[in-house]
């Protein structure tokens, strides 16, 4: 079955940024393949949210600062920008990871929740990059805050630092009550 949006849904597009796509500093395999799916999906939603990793140059998660990740999504750089083929006009933008000491995986904030309540949103539909980090964290936080939450699995990809991370992320989402669906029918 293919997902059908409701009038009270919001689409949350997580971190579809240049650094997370092929050629970026922290590429997700086939990360750019979510772009056309999101572009076809976005016009079907009355409320659209984007999130962006927006790190300072000395973020604690960067390897040069002792963290696990290469330098990525430094605010204002080309790698920080949304993928150039992504065609979305957000009603609300979340910039995360600005605090040097916090990982900033989740795009769920109290400000976002308040905005969604004011718009009459009852269900959040999450897509983007990467399934096993920022998509997972955003979906788990939305669900923990009491929101009906869906992840569209054909509009996300895992970074897979360790083999199986994507599957483990989906298992954790299911266990928390997050529903999975697909945006489009499978190619024949």
Q: Which of 9, 21, 73, 96 is catalytic?
A: 96
Quote the pLDDT of residue 2. Answer: 73
Q: Is residue 85 flagged as an active site residue?
A: no
Quote the pLDDT of residue 188. Answer: 37
Domains, the chain: 9-52+83-94+101-181 (3.40.50.850)
Quote the pLDDT of residue 103. Answer: 87
φ and ψ of 150, to 5 deg: -130, 140
Under-70 pLDDT residues of the chain: 1, 187-188
Q: Which of 53, 103, 134, 141 is catalytic?
A: 134
Q: Which of 15, 32, 103, 154 is catalytic?
A: 15
Q: Is residue 73 flagged as an active site residue?
A: no
User: DSSP string spanning the chain?
Assistant: ------TTEEEEEE--BGGGSTTSSSPPTTGGGHHHHHHHHGGG-SEEEEEEE-B-TT-TTBGGGTSSB-S--BTTSGGGSBPTT-----SEEEEE--STTS-------HHHHHHHHHTT--EEEEEEE-IIIIIHHHHHHHHHTT-EEEEEEEEEE---SSTTHHHHHHHHHHHTT-EEE-SSPPP-
Residue with tokens 């002792």: 66
Beta carbons within 10 angstroms of residue 120's beta carbon:
11
pTM: 0.96
Q: Is residue 134 flagged as an active site residue?
A: yes
């Amino acid at each position: 079955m293919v997902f059908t949006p409701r009038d009270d849904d919001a689409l949350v597009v997580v971190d579809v940024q240049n650094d997370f796509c092929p050629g970026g500093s922290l590429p997700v395999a086939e990360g750019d393949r979510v772009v056309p799916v999101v572009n076809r999906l976005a016009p079907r939603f009355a409320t659209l949210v984007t999130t962006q990793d927006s790190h300072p140059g000395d973020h604690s998660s960067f390897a040069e600062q002792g963290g696990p990740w290469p330098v990525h999504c430094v605010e204002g750089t080309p790698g920080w920008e949304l993928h150039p083929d992504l065609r979305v006009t957000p009603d609300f933008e979340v910039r995360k990871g600005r605090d040097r000491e916090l990982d900033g995986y989740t795009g769920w904030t109290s400000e976002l929740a308040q905005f969604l309540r004011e718009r009459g949103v009852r269900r959040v539909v999450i897509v983007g990059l990467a399934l096993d980090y920022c998509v997972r964290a955003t979906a788990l936080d939305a669900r923990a805050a009491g929101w009906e939450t869906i992840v569209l699995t054909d509009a996300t990809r895992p970074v897979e630092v360790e083999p199986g991370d994507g599957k483990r992320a989906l298992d954790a989402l299911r266990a928390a009550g997050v529903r999975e669906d697909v945006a489009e029918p499978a190619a024949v």
